Chains A and B, each alone.
Chain A
Amino acid sequence: MRKEIFKRETDESLIILQCHFPNHGIALAFDTGASHTTIDLTAMMIAGYRIADVLRTESIETASGIIESYIFRVKELTALGITRYNIEVCAYDFFAHHVLTEFDGVLGLDFIGDYRVCISLKKSEITLYEK
């Protein structure tokens, strides 16, 4: 069992997680309504990924419509104390789609599939249990 603490500014704030590639830290909103982890393309590039690394493109459905996204194979990504290797991540240019936020993307269900997850907004904590 593992516990992660988060801090929300207000009751309307998202749960923002500190995550990192081996060489670059990012913030991802924890989104249990998202099937896939999705990251701003610029954050991917800062972490060293290039368009030439794209495996394929895929259409993804977002709240603001269908977007063509790039699929990368990420060598290593750590979030919630979990490090996943060689995982596929969606990326698109947030700014080009009018997304300007303090986070770099969303951590989706694909990242936590090996865990049972309990989120307590009252205690501001996420508890992860290995299945």
Chain B
Amino acid sequence: MISSKILIMKVLTIEQIRTLYPDQWVLISNPELSDPSINASIVSKLIAGTVLFASKDKRELAYKANELRQPTDFTVCVFTGTFVKNRLFLL
């Protein structure tokens, strides 16, 4: 069974988001990002935002995104788990 939640609108910090939705893909509206002039991963720059949806399955989040988002919303999607460290990429 897929674990997913439609959530109450409230601005949360990234620490709160990680605690409440561990190891999940989280759709966040109106994100506050640190230092917009520096390019880095979104999750490393996310300070706070409003959680619209969270799921273990990114595809479920993708299907739900458009019904949850308000027309004026700007969103980002972050994964609250950890990625494998020290991976080498050959793109």
Contacts and interface: CB of A to CB of B under 8 A. Distances in A.
Interface string B27-42: 1000101001111111
User: Does more than half of chain A's interface fall in helix, strand or loop, or is it mixed?
Assistant: mixed
18 contacts: A4-B39, A5-B37, A16-B39, A16-B40, A18-B36, A18-B39, A18-B40, A18-B45, A23-B74, A29-B91, A42-B62, A46-B62, A62-B91, A93-B59, A95-B59, A102-B41, A103-B41, A104-B77
Interface of B: 27, 31, 33, 36-45, 58-59, 61-63, 65-66, 69, 73-77, 79, 83, 86, 88-91
Interface of A: 4-7, 12, 14-18, 20, 23-27, 29, 31, 33-34, 41-43, 45-46, 48, 62-63, 93, 95, 100-104, 106
